[in-house]
Amino acid sequence: MTYKSTARRAGLAVGVTAVLASVLPAATATATAPVSGRAAVAAPGWCPSVGGHRVDCGGVDRPLVAGKPELGTVAVSYAVVRHSAPGPARGTVAVNPGGPGETAIDKAEEFAWGLEDLLEDHDLLLVDPRGTGRSQPVPCGVTDAEYRFGTRAQQRAAVERCARNLGPKAAGYTSAATADDIDAIRDRLGVPRLSLYGLSYGTYLMPVYASRHPERVRNIVLSGAYPLALDPLARPSAQAVPSNLRRVCERGVPVACDGEQAVKDLATTAARLRTEPLTVPVTTGHGVYEKRFTEDKLASLAFEAASSRVGLEPDKPSLLGRLPHALHRFVKGDAGPLRKLVQEEGSTGSTVDQAPYIAVTCNDYRKAWSKDAPLPARWRQYEAALAAVRPGEHGAFSARGFTEGTTDAGDVCIGWPRENTPGPQPTKPALPDVPVLVLSGDLDANTPDASGKKAAEQFRHSRFLSVRNMGHVPELETGRCVTGVSSRFVRTGEPGDTSCLRALPPIAVTPVHG
């Protein structure tokens, strides 16, 4: 749903490349340019190679902002991984790996590995969304590390600076524009209908595509999903954090922690950090900085970072598996384990520009204020929304503390301009009556089961499946249980045998003593 430009919210290939290196076949196929009744031409140099498959690559020039030719165009690039069996493809699957702003083309080999069975008779369409990867980046001068790890005031200022630097071009970054780009590529390729496969933010983008091009949709898979009518105060994520602590404690063999105690420790830690923040030195590839670790940063760590990579290597320590121990030691007066988690997370910051992420979330997502209101009125509306939150709706956190831990909710976009930017994406558009499968990891607080169920309810014929012991998103499971279920669904409209989704092993948990 929300953020991390090069790892956390990317979807299928998040952090999995190194793990898959030993099992991925060597890339031996040659890339070729698309053929549409004409002689083939040389493929662009960036066209990926995928072992056992032909890959066709190309691009289309699209208006940056519809109806404003003076703002120019954007070159949107794509790659098509062709099916391996003889004869025509049974269908084409368009995949978006998340973000907003995640690239797809450079993950071709990982997607091909995960969807190997489906690629026997289906083509795979990978599009780098406008402003990302091979699709003409338009920077706004805000880096991943600056945005993700700055204080809330710094994040709001970064959003305003991004808007100023983009100017009227900010209106070009919307889910609707990206959906229309995908459809323009579909039309160029001569594909009558697409199977849509969205991961994380892709579960928001693909329903937008379906609402704008309903006759072009065959079926849909959404994984790590949330609805178009997402909660601008992020309450589902806040409520999932305590549930996940209880689950990891209860499922361990032997039991490593007490779930109720872990939740109490979380509440105590959040309350303490609210008034007494930690200062943690963090080393990145760009030097050492002092990170101010407050309640909101704990929220980000607990719902977003702790959902990442869960279940990828279940026998190895993950942030979520180490969190109960770190919280308990902090309550007991030892901040060392928690500091270590903060330092490890802080070291992941990059210099990737966040224009696509900031602009899409600030243009599209629901807010707790009216876009048409001036800034003072927006603040009054936002404060009223916070004041109306009932006790406990943000779990172990205060309402302000948790919402300020998000990078796409709460008040972060409050300074986004009214002028020259589109209105929010409609939350209840007409959607096609096609088969839909929604998957969610039951240890994912980023896009938890509650959000996935609401995403499924948007469609008349949908099926929701929760994947035990997996985080965000469940395709990270390397046994290909999850992608096997989704591949069967794309091919047949039914998920088939789903028993493996309930049989994945519990994650390792650091024991809590005393």
pLDDT tens digits for 189-239?
A: 999 999 999 999 999 999 999 999 999 999 999 999 999 999 999 999 999
* 3-state SS assignment for residue 219: strand
- pTM equals 0.93
Please, are residues 200 and 14 in contact by the beta-carbon 8 Å criterion? no
d(CA 344, CA 283): 9
Burial class (CB in 10 A: 0-12, 13-18, 19+), 128: buried
Q: Which residues contact 485 (CB under 8 A, 6 or more apart)?
A: 437, 439, 465, 495, 496, 498, 500, 501
pLDDT score at 285:
65
Please, are residues 224 and 98 in contact by the beta-carbon 8 Å criterion? yes
d(CA 17, CA 441): 20
Residue 363 half-sphere exposure toward CB, CA atoms < 13 A: 25
Handedness of CA 311, 313, 317, 318 (dihedral sign): negative
- pLDDT(8) > 80: no
Handedness of CA 469, 450, 128, 417 (dihedral sign): negative
Confidence of residue 283 (pLDDT cuts 50, 70, 90): confident
Please, are residues 101 and 175 in contact by the beta-carbon 8 Å criterion? no
d(CA 387, CA 211): 34
Handedness of CA 327, 329, 335, 339 (dihedral sign): negative
d(CA 485, CA 464): 12
Residue of 508, 456, 463 whose CA lies nearest to 488: 463
- pLDDT(420) > 90: no
d(CA 214, CA 170): 27
DSSP code per residue over 116-128: TTGGGTEEEEEE-
- Poorest-pLDDT segment among 54-58, 346-350, 426-430: 346-350
Quote the tokens at residue 135.
């699709």
d(CA 205, CA 101): 11
Please, are residues 251 and 316 in contact by the beta-carbon 8 Å criterion? no
Mean pLDDT, range 438-467, rounded to an integer = 98
* 3-state SS assignment for residue 62: strand
